[in-house]
Amino acid sequence: MADQPPVAIVTGASRGAGRGIAVALGSHGCTVYVTGRSQKEGDASMPGTIHATAREVTEAGGHGIAVACDSGDDAQVAALIAQVIAEQGRIDILVNNACAVLDSLSAPGQFWEKPVEIGNMISVGVRSGFVTSWHAARHMAKQDKGLVLFTSSPGSMHYCFGPAYGAHKAGLDKMAFDMGTDFADAGANVAAVSVWMGSLTTERLMQMMEQMPERFAHLEGTLESAGYTGHLAWALWSDPQMMRHNGRTVIGAELGREYGITDIAGKFPPSSREGTGAQPPVYAAYKVK
């Protein structure tokens, strides 16, 4: 692959963190497969499409390829991976970011007072990340190198928007650990890493801050750009010692300091450890296999 740009897949990249990550990887020259369900404006309550993101990837210096894919549909996920392998012959970076997020997730009330559909973020989030990784891993394990990254948050270790959100993020962290164990046991040079992102400059959060300024006043001046995790993914993949992070859950802001990656206004974003008191999980070494 000496002359081939790294090949990345970013799921759920019509908008939000996925869009930012895809464009950031594009700025490093990657070929980025941008997946999601939104193909035209109006397909979702928030603006953004896979085609718009793919154009931004190309404009940033990479090669954006939009692929309509419902991450909750196993057949579509299988077709996505087959397409990437057929066209590129490899997958270097997989960013599992797709998640079913309803606007009602952050509404007032307890979990039983909200639509039961908020639980879909466990299936289109945890399970979809597993299925996408399952299809990609069989190719990545045969390569010289690969990175599977999950977009998580400290909400896996403190209350945040209720049990569906918490189960989703905690599931991603544990899945990265267990996938990392399997990659290590197979002797594959593939790292599975879960990254805790901070409060991001996504369309959704910016709208929430505008509509409920008092509720989110504490976030002023602390936001992390939506693309920051994309630069972290590139740094991880480019790190000759990438495997030291295999199976770990890391705080993105702290990893950024380690790699010297600044963000908004040329500053390092604050660690989520500050304010929340949450620390990434440390799992036991005991193994049943």
Q: Which of 165, 228, 259, 283 is catalytic?
A: 165
- At position 129, the amino acid (one-letter code) is G
- Among 177, 202, 187, smallest CA distance to 287 is for 177
Relative to beta strand 93-96, strand 7-10 is parallel
CA-to-CA separations, 107 to 73, 100, 103, 215, in angstroms, rounded: 27, 16, 7, 12
- Among 229, 234, 225, 222, smallest CA distance to 270 is for 222
Residues 153 and 272: beta-carbon distance below 8 Å = yes
Token pair, residue 113, equals: 């007072």
228 is catalytic: no
CB atoms closer than 10 angstroms to residue 192: 28
What is the C-alpha separation between 6 and 2, in angstroms, rounded? Answer: 9
Active-site annotation, residues: 165
